[in-house]
Amino acid sequence: MSDMLFDRIEDLKRSLEDINFELSSPDCMSDQNRYMKLMKEQSELSPIVEKYNEYKTACQGIEDSLKLIEEEKDEEMKELAKEELSECKSAKERCEQELKILMLPKDPNDERNVFVEIRGGAGGDEAALFAADLFKMYSKYAESNNWKVNIISLNESGIGGFKEIVFMIDGKGAYSKLKYESGVHRVQRIPTTESGGRIHTSTATVAIMPEVDDVEIYVDPNDCKIDVYRASGNGGQCVNTTDSAVRITHIPTGIVVTCQDEKSQLKNKDKAMKVLKSRIYEMELEKAESEQAEKRRSQIGTGDRSEKIRTYNFPQGRVTDHRIKFTSHRLDDILNGDINEIIQNIIAADQTAKLSHMAS
């Protein structure tokens, strides 16, 4: 590791000591905002400092083992020291790599909830059925992480598929895991409507957007056209017989958001406005990233809706993520929400790309 990186870690270590000292003060608890801020900083710095201490322990172990090998006369003790040396070198290399990852710039959105949009693409009814499969996959994955799923709007096809579905996943760190899912998902299978047994290729588009706070994105009410109408589809008596559904059109950007999940028009308007702000925020992020082309090239795809990212091939029972050339033959498990292996491999590849970019 470079001297500059060591200096940064030493600064962080001193900062953590200051934070721990302040947190131990009785006066700190009287200011809840300050206390929460310090607790958050402590949770961010502690893993780095702990790993750094582990790294220094390994370095000291190397130094002690080399000294023992040089000075020790007993051959058996020398052999033990050599084994210890080998273990310490391995530990040092591992800690060094983990420290570099911990020191990568943090995505400020990682801890946020997310809005997910899934739209059927090429393939008609089959694409809509595939969109429903993807919704089930993400819902099951959310369930396995104890996250909550809340449907915002839904446009069903006639045979049980979704032309479009927008939903929120409420859970700490949801964006950090799901941000890599944005893009075009492709399915290859024999549709239930196909009598000739031919394999069709269909697509669905997934967009992942972090939930944003009101203070981060301001939407001028004068820039919005708001329509209310009667909800359709599944729902209780009130949902289908009152003008509770809301459509918001943001005139400057042309973004249209609908919400009909709640019985209350006010609640639907509030949900729709949250989705609108997240879409505007996403648009601004994409614009900023396009202006930093080098940064964009150093990352695994995390947002381009036109990028074909994954293929789900039913005849071969496989799923392939094209960005990292990763293939799994656990198609059924993956569609049932067991996507952690894919996500962890993408995160690892993204970290490797960023580390390589930092070193160049």
Mark whether 88 and 159 lie in a shared domain: no
CATH for 138:
3.30.70.1660
Classify residue 109: in a domain, yes or no: no
In total, the chain counts a number of residues equal to 360
Predicted confidence (pLDDT) per residue in 131-146, tens digit: 999 999 999 999 999 9
Domain that holds residue 225: 114-352
Classify residue 16: in a domain, yes or no: yes
Q: What is the mean pLDDT of residues 193-207?
A: 85
Predicted confidence (pLDDT) per residue in 31-85, tens digit: 888 888 899 899 989 999 999 999 999 999 999 999 999 988 888 999 999 999 9
Of the candidate ranges 93-102, 118-127, 301-310, the one whose mean pLDDT is the lowest? 301-310
Tokens for 229, please give them. Answer: 């109408």
Mark whether 82 and 142 lie in a shared domain: no
- The number of distinct structural domains making up the chain is 2
Of the residues 102, 137, 168, which one is the last residue of a structural domain? 102
Measured distance CA(35)–CA(41) in Å, rounded: 10
3-state secondary structure of 247: strand
Measured distance CA(142)–CA(150) in Å, rounded: 11
The number of angstroms, rounded, from the C-alpha of 167 to the middle of its chain's C-alpha atoms is 15
Predicted confidence (pLDDT) per residue in 237-266, tens digit: 444 556 788 999 999 999 999 988 778 888
The number of angstroms, rounded, from the C-alpha of 175 to the middle of its chain's C-alpha atoms is 3
| CA dist list (Å): 341 to 136, 145, 330 | 17, 14, 10
Q: So what's the pLDDT on residue 29? A: 80
Question: Can you list the alpha helix ranges (DSSP code H) found in 149-302?
Answer: 174-178, 237-241, 265-290, 293-297
For residue 101, which of 360, 349, 297 has the smallest C-alpha distance? 349
CATH for 32:
1.20.58
Phi, psi of 7 (to 5 degrees): -60, -40
pTM of structure: 0.75
Classify residue 358: in a domain, yes or no: no
Mark whether 316 and 182 lie in a shared domain: yes
Phi, psi of 192 (to 5 degrees): -65, -20
| Other beta carbons less than 10 A from residue 11's beta carbon | 10
Mark whether 74 and 124 lie in a shared domain: no
Mark whether 203 and 225 lie in a shared domain: yes
Of the residues 102, 122, 148, which one is the last residue of a structural domain? 102
